[in-house]
């Protein structure tokens, strides 16, 4: 059995968070190899613990099992989109989830099975923070997510669109599961994350803890316009409604589509069956914090921002949609 070793993030992380993340990442394929089954097992690269990709990957894995497919999927914890794209390219995994903006910028060595959900890029601060937008980041401690994650890549583009020099603030990567605590302790003053809304991991109403006065989201409406002008429809305007995270008013932020990707050499029959599951078991693939667009229909899944579809996926869509 081969034990996959995942590269450690380039910037320093909280030791406990890093050991937990990398330790579980390393063990995931080990578990797959040791399962007592005669069926082939295909690793599906997800992202950090308790994030949107993490939850969706498990829902898809379970749905494939319930569908009695002649193979199994195994969720693999990773550092996120950028690492997932590299893992597809070098053959570490046959399947991965990734954000569309990073995928379109680096399309080599992969094909798509479909787009699945709209992720909300969110920036959270303590409710009583003096930070009212990314323009206030200079001089503060900011988490852009883990190095190698799609969140970090998207956050860097937001900052560039807003004209914010990364050297003007202190970079402090924080795991999603530690973000509330980091805001409460002052370890960070603001943190980016991506997924559905509300995310229960950063919502004091469900997770407990966090800053004494609560949290609030920052609007990304300003940088969004520059992002759309530069990169096109890979970024969309999405609205977080009033009441989420205790907000009194709606907040505009950045929407980024998530894709299910595969290596071109994934067997056609496997790709076709996964697409069948996406279409026929769509109701089983809705994560809890899934406010926003869901693309689990034949007419929506196929729009993959120019990333070519796997031949097996094409066959499935022809069967379902004509």
Cβ 279 vs Cβ 142: under 8 Å: no
Same structural domain, 73 and 150: no
Q: Is residue 8 part of a domain?
A: no
pLDDT in tens, 227-257: 999 999 999 999 999 999 999 999 999 999 9
Q: Is this model's pTM higher than 0.75 or not? A: yes
Q: Collapse the DSSP code of 72 into the 3-class scheme (helix H, G, I; strand E, B; otherwise coil) and give the result.
A: strand
Same structural domain, 46 and 156: no
Q: Is residue 2 part of a domain?
A: no
Instruction: Give the residue numbers spanning the domain of 195.
Output: 120-256
pLDDT value, residue 199: 87
pLDDT exceeds cutoff 90 at 64: yes
pLDDT exceeds cutoff 90 at 267: yes
Distance CA 274, CA 266 (A): 11
pLDDT exceeds cutoff 50 at 93: yes
Q: Is residue 6 part of a domain?
A: no
Residue ending a domain, choose from 241, 256, 271? 256
Same structural domain, 197 and 266: no
Q: Calculate the CA dihedral of residues 31, 36, 42, 43 and round it to 10 degrees.
A: -10
Q: Collapse the DSSP code of 238 into the 3-class scheme (helix H, G, I; strand E, B; otherwise coil) and give the result.
A: strand
Q: Is residue 97 part of a domain?
A: yes
Same structural domain, 265 and 195: no
Cis peptide bond upstream of 198, omega within 30: yes
pLDDT value, residue 1: 27
More confident residue, 96 or 205: 96
Same structural domain, 144 and 160: yes
Over range 100-113, report the average pLDDT.
Answer: 95
pLDDT value, residue 16: 36
Q: Is residue 23 part of a domain?
A: yes
Same structural domain, 124 and 249: yes
More confident residue, 6 or 282: 282
pLDDT value, residue 322: 64
pLDDT value, residue 229: 96
Same structural domain, 128 and 252: yes
Q: Is residue 3 part of a domain?
A: no
Same structural domain, 102 and 30: yes
Same structural domain, 132 and 248: yes
Same structural domain, 163 and 79: no
pLDDT value, residue 174: 94
pLDDT exceeds cutoff 60 at 2: no
Same structural domain, 25 and 124: no
Going by C-alpha positions, the residue among 183, 243, 177, 190 that lies closest to residue 213 is: 183
Q: Is residue 92 part of a domain?
A: yes
Q: Calculate the CA dihedral of residues 69, 21, 195, 193 and round it to 10 degrees.
A: -160
Same structural domain, 125 and 250: yes
Residue ending a domain, choose from 256, 278, 294? 256
Residue ending a domain, choose from 206, 221, 256? 256
pLDDT value, residue 197: 87
pLDDT in tens, 8-47: 233 333 333 333 344 434 333 433 444 446 899 999 999 9
Domain total of the chain: 2
Q: Under 8 Å CB-to-CB from 98, ≥6 apart: which residues? A: 81, 84, 85, 150, 258, 259, 261
Q: Is residue 89 part of a domain?
A: yes
CATH (domain of 145): 3.40.190.10
pLDDT in tens, 158-211: 999 999 999 999 999 998 899 999 999 999 999 999 988 888 889 998 888 899
């Amino acid at each position: 059995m081969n034990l996959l070793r995942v590269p450690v993030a380039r910037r320093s992380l909280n030791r406990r968070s890093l050991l937990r993340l990398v330790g579980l990442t390393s063990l995931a394929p080990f578990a797959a190899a040791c399962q007592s089954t005669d069926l082939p097992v295909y690793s599906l690269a997800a992202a950090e613990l308790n994030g949107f990709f993490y939850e969706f990957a498990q829902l898809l894995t379970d749905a494939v099992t319930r569908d009695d497919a002649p193979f199994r999927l195994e969720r693999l914890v990773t550092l996120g989109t950028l690492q997932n794209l590299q893992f597809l390219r070098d053959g570490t995994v046959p399947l991965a989830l990734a954000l569309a903006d990073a995928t379109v910028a680096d399309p080599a060595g992969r094909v798509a099975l479909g787009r699945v959900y709209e992720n909300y890029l969110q920036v959270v601060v303590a409710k009583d923070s003096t930070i009212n937008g990314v323009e206030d980041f200079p001089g503060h401690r900011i988490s852009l997510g883990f190095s190698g994650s799609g969140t970090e890549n998207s956050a860097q583009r937001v900052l560039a669109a807003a004209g914010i020099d990364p050297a003007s603030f202190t970079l402090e990567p924080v795991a999603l599961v530690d973000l509330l605590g980091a805001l409460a302790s002052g370890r960070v003053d603001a943190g980016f994350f991506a997924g559905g809304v509300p995310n229960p991991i950063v919502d004091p109403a469900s997770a407990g803890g966090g800053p004494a006065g609560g949290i609030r989201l920052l609007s990304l409406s300003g940088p969004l316009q520059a992002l759309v002008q530069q990169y096109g429809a890979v970024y969309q305007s999405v609205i977080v409604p009033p009441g989420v995270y205790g907000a009194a008013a709606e907040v505009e932020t950045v929407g980024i589509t998530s894709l299910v990707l595969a290596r071109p050499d994934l067997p056609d029959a496997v790709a076709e069956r996964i697409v069948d599951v996406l279409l026929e078991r769509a109701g089983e693939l809705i994560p809890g914090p899934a406010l926003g667009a869901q693309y689990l229909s034949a007419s929506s899944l196929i729009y993959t921002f120019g990333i070519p579809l796997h031949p097996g996926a094409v066959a499935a869509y022809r069967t379902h949609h004509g």
